[in-house]
Amino acid sequence: MSTGDFSGSESYLTDGDALRLLGNGRLEVAGRLVEASNLTLYCTVTLEGRSAACVYKPVRGERPLWDFPDGTLAAREVAAYEVSAATGWRIVPPTVYRDGPYGPGMCQLWVEPNREVDLVALVRSRNDPALRRMAVYDAVVNNADRKGGHLLPLRDGHIFGVDHGVCFAAEDKLRTVLWQWRGKPLLRESVRVLARLERDLDDGPLGRRLRELLTLREVTATWERVRRLLDTGVHPGPSGDWPAVPWPAI
């Protein structure tokens, strides 16, 4: 796995360190993020003298949705991390599925963004390579809710994305603020990553891991979306069968 400096954690952590800390550390609730639609708790996680801030979303706090099965959002967040890790793009902060004070759920490393960045200007950017990678990633995971507020830009230029609970539907539900590359040819880097994902989803560790978190139909649909991107060679556009932009957009 790649390494990274996660702002908001107590010290430098590799992805592997972060996953071990999140999965095995003592989880203590410090507060609640009240603007979130599902129960989202701000916590500290501690293991062997090392601690970090994290977000914990218990399954029992998930609000029922008409278009996603109940009790599946936490697993979808973990699946989103697994795909992110497989791309090498580090779009999603380290995320695990674990038990906690309010039962099983997802636990994700807290990332403190650069709050000086204008999110409206960021989502309109056409020249940010990290944002363009995220647009490809969202097409792969079928992100139904890519708001501007789900982007976490760091001071070094890296951009994390969070809140992936409504991804991986078998039906086309791509809804995002990142449509500025629609119809544009995929960059060669993206084509290479997609080709690797196709193999990994077909008969590799990523496919096996996703089958633990999603339905077989959803995993197959993920492979089909990757195959479609490779066949067309371009960024997708809105389907017309689903609202193209989430509300609120930011």
Query: Greatest CA span in the chain, whole angstroms?
Result: 52
Residue 8 pLDDT exceeds 70 = no
Instruction: Write down the pTM of the prediction.
Output: 0.93
Q: Domain-by-domain residue ranges, the chain?
A: 3-109, 119-232
Q: What digits encode the pLDDT tens for the residues 97-153?
A: 999 999 999 999 999 999 999 999 999 999 999 999 999 999 999 999 999 999 999
Residue 2 pLDDT exceeds 70 = no
Token reading at 194: 């997609």
Token reading at 66: 């008409």
Token reading at 178: 């990142």
Confidence bin at 4 (pLDDT 50/70/90): very low
Residue 23 pLDDT exceeds 60 = yes
Dihedral sign (CA 139, 141, 142, 148): negative
